[in-house]
Amino acid sequence: MEFGNSLAHLGAGIGAGLAVIGGAAGIGRLAAAAMEGSARQPQAVGDIRTSMIIAAALIEGATLFALVICMILGVK
């Protein structure tokens, strides 16, 4: 069977989905911990919020690495 580029496109789609699952799961856990910490100690809300945003941006950086590779595969 001649697959041509369809396998690359399939890989791109599956890869993007998996990347989003990983990133969203990680950031979800991070947000849950941040919520719990803020609830336990309301005066630390500002610090927790800053650290949460920084950690979320770093995790998202890793997710977007995978997305870039999927984009390269998708336009093959």
Partner 1 sequence: MTEAATGHAAAAAAHDAAAHGGEFNAGETIAHHIMDTQVMELPFIGAVHLPTLHIGSWDLPVTKHVVMLWVAAAVVLALAGIAARRRALVPGRVQSLVEIMVVFVRDELARKNIGPHGDRFVPYLLTTFFFILACNLIGLVPYGATATSNIGVTAALAGVAFLVTQASGMREYGVVGHFKNLVPPGLPAWLLPIMIPVELLGMLAKPFALCVRLFANMTAGHVVIISLISLVFILKSILVGVLLSVPFALFINGIELLVAFLQAYIFTMLTSLFIGMSVHPSH
Residues in contact with partner 1 by the rule CB under 8 A: 53-54, 57-58, 60-61, 64-65, 67-68, 71, 75
Radius of gyration over every alpha carbon of the chain, rounded to an integer in angstroms: 18
Q: What are 60's two structure tokens?
A: 């998202």
What's at 65, amino acid-wise? F
In the complex, the smallest distance separating the C-beta of residue 17 from partner 1, rounded to whole angstroms, is 15
Closest to 71 (Cα-Cα) out of 22, 6, 13, 23: 13
In the complex, the smallest distance separating the C-beta of residue 57 from partner 1, rounded to whole angstroms, is 5
Nearer to partner 1, 37 or 64 (CB): 64
